[in-house]
Amino acid sequence: MQTTPGNPRKPPTLADVAKLAGVSLATASKSLNGRQQVKAETRERVLSAAEQLNFSPNVLARHLLSGRSGTIGLVTHDLEGRFSIPTLMGAEDAAGTGKTSVLLCDARGDALREQYHVQALLGRRVDGLIVVGARPDPRPSLGQLPVPVVYAYAPSQDPADMSVVTDNLLGGRLVAEHLLTCGRTRVAIVTGDAGYGAAHDRVDGASAVLAEAGVEVLGGQALYGSWTEEWGRTAAGLLISRFDDVDAIVCGSDQIARGVLDTLRESGRRVPEDVAVTGHDNWEILALNARPQLTSIDMNLEELGRRAAALLFDAIEGNPHSGTEVIPSRLVPRGSTGPKPA
Amino acid sequence: MQTTPGNPRKPPTLADVAKLAGVSLATASKSLNGRQQVKAETRERVLSAAEQLNFSPNVLARHLLSGRSGTIGLVTHDLEGRFSIPTLMGAEDAAGTGKTSVLLCDARGDALREQYHVQALLGRRVDGLIVVGARPDPRPSLGQLPVPVVYAYAPSQDPADMSVVTDNLLGGRLVAEHLLTCGRTRVAIVTGDAGYGAAHDRVDGASAVLAEAGVEVLGGQALYGSWTEEWGRTAAGLLISRFDDVDAIVCGSDQIARGVLDTLRESGRRVPEDVAVTGHDNWEILALNARPQLTSIDMNLEELGRRAAALLFDAIEGNPHSGTEVIPSRLVPRGSTGPKPA
DNA sequence: TTGTAAGCGTTATCAC
DNA sequence: GTGATAACGCTTACAA
């Protein structure tokens, strides 16, 4: 880890190693790369020379030759937000295992900035691109690029592109099934901005399962509002005044659920005995600190990121895919749901 | 943006551009780089050829020559957490403005993984490194590396290294001053894990200001616990039972403050009329959804990231710095604090 | 004003 | 087994 004394700036090159070991460049290269065409003793000499110089091969030079950079670009639109981070971790995970690194850019929801970053990444000769959206609705395609692209979280509008998304329908189904199992029949749904396709999908998933069991959503439809605790508090107030016998509230996000829980507690309803509550996203900072802890849907975002990376690597290897792949969500049961007392 | 038809895989090179424009490699290069030694008309021809081929120069090759990669490495330990993200955004911001890109790695708090990533980044010939810690306490130095390193959020234990940290003492002072201005004199402090140096710093900052004003912390010292809402709820219960006249509670984090707010509300105390409450971190998801919205300390993490990047770039330019630079925090007043009613 | 050629640090293809 | 040598795509003296 020490800088070579007397040579403070430039890292040692393979030529330095070769010279020190008293061999040619070619032999040094072969030795370090585990080629079979060198005598064990020679290899040993080269290795120790490399060790001594603390040599680390210049990956740029290597890739100049191979045509691949060993690098993928990750363009996110939601770095400050909640959803891109696990996705990014999954991708970084999948990439880091091998020998590729991740170049990160945050486009902050701006198409122009995205364009700029994509160009910069292409100039760096990334082998592929993962684009992580800020919200789950379909987004415009980047079009034909010289390298494969995978759209994560927010799918591309072009079905010829590769996309990986969460399963919002399933999320809805899972909570509904869980609540039915708990014996709930007076079920309301509170969710966020009606402009989000995902909000509708989750509602549809839940409604379908409930309908199959002969249960109709209280009020005949979900309450749309915003993704905030405030709306959760308001909506819960509306619900208990209109439907005194409500015994379950499905929330479109953990934030909404937190608000719902607060209003229920303050109105004297017990959770989960009187009313069961479910969230969505499994944002632990909210779910684990709730009273009681919140049953929620985990979208497996990290898995989504890993899968996106895996698809990308496969495409880079020459096996392109297309269409939208859906990552199943899973239910995380906690204290806010449970069997309805007799 | 279209792939050149018939040449689907390899991006066009400068040679392609030169050939199409009917000039030599050198002339093409000069034209594209704005060198003055080419006739305007020739340059025009080259530019349009480049345009036509959708040429983007291979940055790897360029940097192989210049010795710099135009890349910095960002090793974080807290990708899933709250603190590294804004720092990362600031750094990415500062870098992206120029022509350097950010290679991201998540070491997940593991020293070995960190070591591994650092080596990988050095192999990629990053021009410098920013290491973002998971918690604000000093961490072991990476030692002497061939490129400059800046430690962000968690400073290096070695004062010869460059570090950029938040000002926890100031954070404490700011809330104390604010509360005194509000006319509060019965002030308690609830904070998190006593194992965090930052927790003590914040307490010390607040205590000092209060002492200057002749106000002693209720109970003579801060209550240490954990960084959770649960602890906030518990601590608030303790406080109001022991000090019925408490009129302000300084919390070590927004999470703790959320818990404190809940207990106060449920015990019938009005916030801020009866008790003023302050948080720390200005985590908007918590602060803005609180009832009332939470007065908090913003550590200016994005600025911290920008500053770290600026220091790094300067060091890369040949102006190394050393020691720890402190980024001032700022108070964000909201509804949870206000003047004490007469 | 333009072109030729050397070189950046590797790897791969050959001779030896 | 080993070592020249030619790439890879670009910049930059230096020559024309």
Q: Per-residue pLDDT for B5 more than 70? A: no
- Residues of chain A contacting B123 with CB distance shorter than 8 Å: 56-59
pLDDT band at A342 (very low <50, low <70, confident <90, very high): confident
The arrangement of strands across the sheet holding B223-224 comes to: B223-224, B187-191, B248-251, B276-278
Nearest residue (Cα to C1') for D9? B61
Cα A194 from chain centroid (whole Å): 23
Q: Per-residue pLDDT for B2 more than 80? A: no
Q: Per-residue pLDDT for A82 more than 90? A: no
Residues B207 and B187: their CA atoms lie apart, in Å, by: 10
Q: Is residue A292 reached through a cis peptide bond, with omega within 30 degrees of 0 on the bond before it? A: yes
pLDDT band at A79 (very low <50, low <70, confident <90, very high): confident
Comparing C-alpha atoms, which of B190, B262, B187, B201 is closest to residue B225?
Answer: B190
Residue A25, CB, less than 7 Å from strand C? yes
List the A24 CA – C16 C1' distance (angstroms).
14
Q: How far is CA B275 from CA A10, A303, B187, in A?
A: 61, 45, 9
Nearest residue (Cα to C1') for C14? A26
Residues B121 and B126: their CA atoms lie apart, in Å, by: 6
What is residue A98's predicted lDDT score, i.e. its pLDDT? 76
Helix (H) or strand (E) holding B26: helix B25-32
Given the candidates 3.40.50.300, 3.20.20.60, 1.10.3470.10, 3.40.50.2300, the CATH classification of the domain at B168-299 is: 3.40.50.2300
Residue A128 near residue A121 (C-beta atoms within 8 A): no
Which phi and psi angles does A185 have, rounded to 5°? -135, -15
- The residue behind tokens 């990750």 is A74
Closest partner residue to B123 (CB to CB) among A59, A85, A117 is: A59
pLDDT band at A2 (very low <50, low <70, confident <90, very high): very low
- Residues of chain A contacting B119 with CB distance shorter than 8 Å: 56
Give the DSSP letter string of B208-221: HHHHHTT-PPGGGS
Neighbour-count burial for A255-264, b at 16+ CB within 10 Å, e otherwise: bbbbbbbbbb
Distance between B81 CA and the closest CA of chain A, angstroms:
9
* B83: nearest CA partner in chain A: A80
What is residue B4's predicted lDDT score, i.e. its pLDDT? 35
Closest partner residue to B104 (CB to CB) among A63, A92, A99 is: A92
- Please report how many Cα atoms fall inside a 13 Å half-sphere around the Cα of residue B222, on the Cβ side: 26
Closest partner residue to B92 (CB to CB) among A101, A106, A228 is: A106
Q: What share of chain A has pLDDT > 90, as a percent?
A: 85
pLDDT per residue as tens digits for the range B89-133: 898 888 877 789 999 999 999 999 999 999 999 999 999 999 999
A to B CB pairs, distance under 8 Å: 139
pLDDT per residue as tens digits for the range B9-20: 688 999 999 999
Residue of B9, B51, B85 to mutate for A, most A C-beta atoms under 10 A: B85
- Please report how many Cα atoms fall inside a 13 Å half-sphere around the Cα of residue B12, on the Cβ side: 21
Task: Report, in ranges, which bases of strand C sit under 7 Å from a protein C-beta.
Answer: 1-13
| Residues contacting B310, CB < 8 A, separation 6+ | B94
Residue B23, CB, less than 7 Å from strand C? yes
Give the DSSP letter string of A130-145: EEE-SSSS-B------
Q: What share of chain B has pLDDT > 70, as a percent?
A: 97
Same fold for the domain at A14-57 and the one at A168-299?
no
What is residue A162's predicted lDDT score, i.e. its pLDDT? 98
Token pair of B29, please?
Answer: 């290069």
Residues 36-75 of B with CB under 7 A from strand C: 37-39, 41-43, 61, 64-65, 67
Nearest residue (Cα to C1') for C8? B65
- Please report how many Cα atoms fall inside a 13 Å half-sphere around the Cα of residue A315, on the Cβ side: 26
pLDDT per residue as tens digits for the range A237-283: 999 999 999 999 999 999 999 999 999 999 999 999 999 999 999 99
Q: Do B79 and A88 touch (CB under 8 A)?
A: yes
Residue A59, CB, less than 7 Å from strand C? no
Q: Do B122 and A56 touch (CB under 8 A)?
A: yes
Residue predicted with more confidence, A92 or A270: A270
pLDDT band at B265 (very low <50, low <70, confident <90, very high): very high
Q: Where in chain A are the domains? A: 14-57, 66-166+300-329, 168-299
Closest partner residue to B124 (CB to CB) among A101, A104, A259 is: A101
Token pair of B236, please?
Answer: 């608030």
Residues B73 and B88: their CA atoms lie apart, in Å, by: 11
Distance between A159 CA and the closest CA of chain B, angstroms:
18
pLDDT band at A37 (very low <50, low <70, confident <90, very high): confident
What is residue B6's predicted lDDT score, i.e. its pLDDT? 37
Q: Per-residue pLDDT for A6 more than 70? A: no
- List, in sequence order, every beta strand (DSSP E) within chain A: 71-76, 101-106, 128-132, 149-152, 162-166, 187-191, 223-224, 248-251, 276-278, 296-298, 323-327, 330-332
Closest partner residue to A59 (CB to CB) among B86, B124, B291 is: B124
What is residue A9's predicted lDDT score, i.e. its pLDDT? 62
B203-229 mean pLDDT: 97
Distance between A211 CA and the closest CA of chain B, angstroms:
34
Residue B156 near residue B139 (C-beta atoms within 8 A): yes
- The residue behind tokens 């206000």 is B338
Q: Do B89 and A106 touch (CB under 8 A)?
A: yes
pLDDT per residue as tens digits for the range B154-205: 999 999 999 999 999 999 999 999 999 999 999 999 999 999 999 999 999 9
Classify strands A330-332 and A296-298 as parallel, antiparallel or unpaired. Answer: antiparallel
Cα B122 from chain centroid (whole Å): 23
Q: Per-residue pLDDT for A3 more than 50? A: no
Distance between A83 CA and the closest CA of chain B, angstroms:
10
Q: Per-residue pLDDT for B138 more than 90? A: yes
CATH architecture designation of domain B66-166+300-329: 3-Layer(aba) Sandwich (3.40)
Beta bridge partners of B327: B166
List the B29 CA – C16 C1' distance (angstroms).
39
Q: Per-residue pLDDT for B7 more than 50? A: no
pLDDT per residue as tens digits for the range B28-87: 999 999 988 899 999 999 999 999 999 999 999 988 888 889 999 999 998 887 888 888
pLDDT per residue as tens digits for the range A290-325: 999 999 999 999 999 999 999 999 999 999 999 999
List the B11 CA – D13 C1' distance (angstroms).
28
Residue B160, CB, less than 7 Å from strand C? no
The phi-psi region of residue A325 (left if phi > 0; otherwise alpha if psi is between -120 and 50; otherwise beta) is beta
Residue predicted with more confidence, B342 or A122: A122
Residue A213, CB, less than 7 Å from strand C? no
Q: Do B101 and A120 touch (CB under 8 A)?
A: yes
Distance between A325 CA and the closest CA of chain B, angstroms:
24
CA of A40: nearest nucleotide by C1' is D1
First-to-last alpha carbon distance for chain B, in angstroms, is 68
Helix (H) or strand (E) holding B130: strand B128-132
Comparing C-alpha atoms, which of A295, A221, A217 is closest to residue A257?
Answer: A295
Residues A90 and A306: their CA atoms lie apart, in Å, by: 4
Residue predicted with more confidence, A93 or A332: A332
Tell me how crowded residue B135 is: count the other CB atoms within 10 A of its CB: 17
Q: Is residue A11 reached through a cis peptide bond, with omega within 30 degrees of 0 on the bond before it? A: no
Question: What residue type is assigned to position B329 of the chain?
Answer: S
Domain at A14-57: CATH code? 1.10.260.40
What average pLDDT does chain A have?
A: 93
